[in-house]
C-alpha cells in the first residue's frame, strides 16, 4: 500500500469512498423524502454524517465518536420551511475544530464563551496531549492564537482523524437505538437486520472495521465506553471515571459519563504513552 502513504491522496480517498458505499441500505431509507419526514418526526433523525476529517493514511490517532448527535444542518432543522437533509460524506474539519463549535469563536480562543461541552473538552484534551508530545515548547495555550502544533494535526507526531462509529445523527444514543429498531422492520433491508436492532448497528460497526483496515491508524481512541464496547464487540460494563479501557495494544477508550474533563490528564497520558510506543 505504498501509494497510500502520502496523506490525503486520491487512491486512498477512492478506496475510502468505495467502502462508504456499503451504507447504501441506510441511505435508501433515510434519504427517501417521505421516509425521512417520518424518521425526523417520530425518531428525531438529524442527518447522516460520515463527514470524515481529512482522510490520511496511518494517522497517529483515530478518534472514534459514537454518533453525530444534533447533526450539522441546523439551518435546515430550525427552518419553518421543510427541506430534505442530504447525507454528508465530504471531508471536513473535526467538529471540535469548527468555528463556533467548542467556543463562541475559533477553537483556540480559550477565553471565549463555551458553546458545547464535548468539543471544548476535546480541544482541552489536545492541548494536554501537545504538552506531552512537545515538552520543550510552549503550547501557546491562552494566547488566542492558533498553536504551532495545529500544523501537525494531519501529518506529524499528532496526526489525527475523527470519525463516528454510527453516522446517523440523533440527539442521544437511546434515540439512535430506537431508530435502528424501526429500521430493521423496513422492507428490503438486509436479512440479518430483522433479528434485532444490534444487527443494524453491527452492520455499521463492520463498515467501520473495513475503514480502519484501510486507514491503519497507529492508535484508536474510542470516545465513550459505549463506543469502545460496540467497536470491540465486548460486553458493556460500568466503568470508573478514571478507567482507561484497553483492547489489545492499539485500541483504548474511556467513560464520558459525568465530569470526564477531570480525567483529561490521565487520558492524554494514555494516548501519549501508546503513540510513543508505536514509533519505529
**Could you read off the pLDDT of 165-175 as tens digits, one per residue?**
999 999 999 99
- What pLDDT shows up at residue 101? 86
DSSP string of the chain?
A: -GGG-STT-HHHHHHHHHHHGGGHHHHHHHTSHHHHHHHHHHH---EEB---SS--SS-SEEEEES--TT-S-HHHHH-SS--PPPPB-S----GGGSTTTSBSS-TT-TTSPB--HHHHHHHHHHHHHHHHHSTTS---TTSSS--GGGGGSSSSTT-EEEEESS-EE-SSHHHHHHHHHHHTTSTT--GGGGT-HHHHHHHHHHHHHHHHHHH--SEEEEESHHHHHHHHT-------TT--EEETTTEEEE--SS-GGGGHHHHHHHHHHHHHHT--
- What pLDDT shows up at residue 280? 55
The answer for residues whose C-beta is within 8 angstroms of residue 18's C-beta and 6 or more apart is none
- What pLDDT shows up at residue 7? 47
Task: Report the percent of the chain where pLDDT is more than 90.
Answer: 69
- What pLDDT shows up at residue 186? 97
Beta bridge partner(s), residue 48: 168
Strand arrangement, sheet containing 245-247: 160-164, 61-65, 219-223, 251-254, 245-247
- What pLDDT shows up at residue 1? 37
Low-confidence ranges of the chain (pLDDT < 50): 1-8
- What pLDDT shows up at residue 3? 39
Spatial contact of 241 and 263, defined as CB atoms under 8 Å apart: yes
pTM: 0.92
Amino acid at each position: 500500500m505504498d501509494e497510500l502513504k502520502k496523506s490525503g491522496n486520491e487512491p486512498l480517498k477512492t478506496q475510502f469512498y468505495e467502502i462508504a458505499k456499503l451504507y447504501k441500505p441506510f441511505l435508501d431509507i433515510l434519504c427517501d423524502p417521505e421516509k425521512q419526514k417520518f424518521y425526523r418526526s417520530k425518531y428525531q433523525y438529524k442527518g447522516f454524517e460520515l463527514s470524515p476529517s481529512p482522510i490520511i493514511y496511518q494517522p497517529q490517532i483515530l478518534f472514534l465518536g459514537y454518533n453525530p448527535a444534533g447533526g450539522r444542518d441546523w439551518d435546515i432543522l430550525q427552518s419553518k420551511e421543510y427541506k430534505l437533509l442530504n447525507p454528508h460524506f465530504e471531508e471536513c474539519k473535526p467538529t471540535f475544530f469548527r468555528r463556533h463549535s467548542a467556543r463562541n469563536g475559533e477553537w483556540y480562543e480559550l477565553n471565549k464563551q463555551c458553546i458545547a461541552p464535548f468539543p471544548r473538552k476535546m480541544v482541552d484534551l489536545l492541548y494536554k496531549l501537545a504538552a506531552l508530545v512537545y515538552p520543550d515548547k510552549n503550547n501557546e495555550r491562552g494566547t488566542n492564537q492558533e498553536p504551532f502544533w495545529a500544523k501537525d494535526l494531519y501529518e506529524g507526531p499528532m496526526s489525527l482523524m475523527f470519525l463516528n462509529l454510527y453516522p446517523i445523527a440523533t440527539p442521544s444514543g437511546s434515540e439512535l437505538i430506537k431508530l435502528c429498531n424501526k429500521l430493521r422492520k423496513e422492507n428490503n433491508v438486509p436479512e440479518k437486520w430483522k433479528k434485532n436492532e444490534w444487527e443494524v448497528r453491527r452492520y455499521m460497526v463492520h463498515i467501520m472495521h473495513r475503514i480502519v483496515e484501510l486507514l491503519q491508524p497507529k492508535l484508536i481512541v474510542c470516545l465513550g465506553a459505549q463506543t469502545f464496547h460496540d467497536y470491540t464487540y465486548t460486553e458493556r460494563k460500568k466503568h470508573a471515571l478514571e478507567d482507561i479501557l484497553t483492547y489489545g495494544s492499539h485500541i483504548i477508550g474511556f467513560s464520558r459519563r459525568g465530569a470526564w474533563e477531570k480525567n483529561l490528564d490521565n487520558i492524554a497520558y494514555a494516548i501519549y504513552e501508546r503513540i510513543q510506543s508505536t514509533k519505529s
